[in-house]
Each structure stands twice: as C-alpha cells, then as structure tokens.
Structure 1
C-alpha cells in the first residue's frame, strides 16, 4: 500500500504526525505553500469526512493499493482539495466511533468531535482495508494508546489483528537531534 499526504503550510512540522515517516518509500508528502495546482494524486481514495464509508472498499475484486489524506486545519480542507489537479480520488471516510489519542485543542473549537490525527486516520483506513501495519504508528508517541483506545472498534469492524492484546506499535527510539528535525522540515517543504 502507498500513502500520499498533502500538508498545509500552516501545519507545524514538529507536531505533524506524518512528517517523521518521510523516510519511508511508501509515503509521498506534499507541502503546500503557494497557490500552484497540486497533483495528480495516484491513490484511488482520499480520506474525507463527507465520503462514503471506507468499509465499502474492503472486499473489492481489486484491493485498494493507496490512500491519500490532507493534513490541515478543517477550515482549509476545501481550499486544498481544489488545488488537486487531474482526476480526484474518490472520497472515503473513517466509520464513526474511533477516538483520537492525540491531545489536541483547537483555538476556536472548530475541530469535529470525531476528528483523528492524520496518522491515526491513515492507520485506521489501512487496517480496515486489510493492511494492519503497526510500523505506521512507530514514530507516533500516542500510537499504542490509539490502538488500545480503539481496539474494540477495530474488532467490531472485523479487523482480526486488533484482537491480539500484543498487537501494539513499538515506538521508535527518539534520537533525532534538533539539526535532524530542521533537516527533515527542509525535505518536506522542498
């Protein structure tokens, strides 16, 4: 499976839940900092709260091989979608009932109640589509907490791997220096 993430210029790289995965060959990150068109996206589905439930794409003859996502504040979502050129991926949403482990707080309370951190949404979508990949959460501090918090929801949706109590992500060692973080930010913005 491959992943494409459009990251808005307003997102802080140090708080971005997908930026630490830049090194992975299955991730393409696009940092949007201007008015230029973006795309086309290669993934067949784009995570969006107004899409059809992603469970619909689970048992297709040809399995979904990619997921796209937009990492931004909610009020900028439609603006960024309009920048995508070419055929747009089909919108798909995460089923209701999943809870975020990320302790975020919107300054003006504009976040929806069921909103997930970007990496949580990607992991959840991939797991529902049959790709339970704990390495997606290996750079996410709240990864194990997210899996524990939502274990029953995964099981309810038929994600068998969630039933294993040992199925928790192992956090990668935090040995990135401030120089490495600055280097990573330049790579994303480039």
Structure 2
C-alpha cells in the first residue's frame, strides 16, 4: 500500500522578517511548503500538525505522518507568535545540532540550541526521515552546516 505524503510544512513568517535575509525564502512556490504571514492564516487545517520548538519531545519518525509548523522570525519575534499556536504539540530537535549561521545580536542572547530556520527545517527532515535534497542549495552557510553536523545527518 503506498504511503501518502505528509501534509505540507507551514512556515509562519513574522511581518518584520526581511524577505531578503530570510533563509527559507528560496523554498517559496514548492508544493511541500506553505507560507503564512503572521497573524494571518492560510487555508490548511492545523489538525495533525506539530510545532517545531524548544522544550518538547524530540521529533522522530513517529511524527512523520504529521504536518510540521515552523515559526520564522528572530527569536524575540517567534516568542510573540507562539501564543497563537500553543494548541499544537511541540516537538524539538536533538540539542546537538549546531548552527553555521553567524549570530551577532548585541542586545539579546539566542538560545544555545537555536538554528536558522532553513537549518531547523533540514534537521527536522532528518529526524522525520523526509527528503533533504535541495533544501540548502541557496543557503550561504549550507556546506558549513552539513560539515558541522555530519554525524547527525549520517545517523538520520
């Protein structure tokens, strides 16, 4: 019996997020992704979705049939969006993933387990056993991210 594809990954993009600097911008238009501009909602139902975040059980292949919702914005902006999606169960990534994205905030400290949105998507797809081909093609730090996380990717 053929396995049906999972629901599309939904990105909730904060309106203050600059599209020119957004790591997931190159994914727009692909069938497996939807982009919602916060606080608006798209047509998709969030039934059978989990939210990628910090503090939940580790995302695993047991979640593979569920949709994935990812908040996209700075850490401070993402925190403000969380309240609208509290009803979704939170799943986390293994804390050993390392970001290649250079962070230079002089005002706020990012979580130590924080990844760029494209890195988080890539890691989530590894955890879920989903395809990763082409995700990092236009990500400036993609090769460095893969090199830093090679053992996690190989163990996927």
Structure with higher Rg: it is 1
Mark the runs of 5 or more structure 1 residues left unpaired by the alignment: 160-190
Alignment equivalent of 1:23, drawn from 29, 41, 47 = 29
CA deviation map 1:122-156 (0-9, x unaligned) = 1101111111412111221211221111011333x
Q: Which moved more, 1:65-74 or 1:120-129?
A: 65-74
Distance 1:43 1:148, change over 3 A: farther
Q: What residue in structure 2 maps to residue 106 of structure 1?
A: 105
2:59 aligned with 1:54: yes
What TM-score does the superposition give when structure 2 sets the normalisation length?
0.82
1:42 and 1:65 mapped to 2: Cα distance?
9
2:49 to 41, 44, 47: 44
TM-score, with length taken from structure 1 = 0.69
1:21–1:139 Cα contact (<8 Å) kept: no
User: How far is the alpha carbon of 1:65 from its aligned partner?
Assistant: 4.1
CA contact under 8 A between 2:97 and 2:152: conserved in structure 1? yes
Over 3 Å counting, the alpha-carbon distance change for 1:108 and 1:43 in structure 2 is farther
Measured on the aligned residues, the alpha-carbon RMSD in Å equals: 2.2
Corresponding position: 1:64 with 2:65: yes
Aligned partner of 1:79 in structure 2 is: 80
Corresponding residue for residue 93 of structure 2: 94
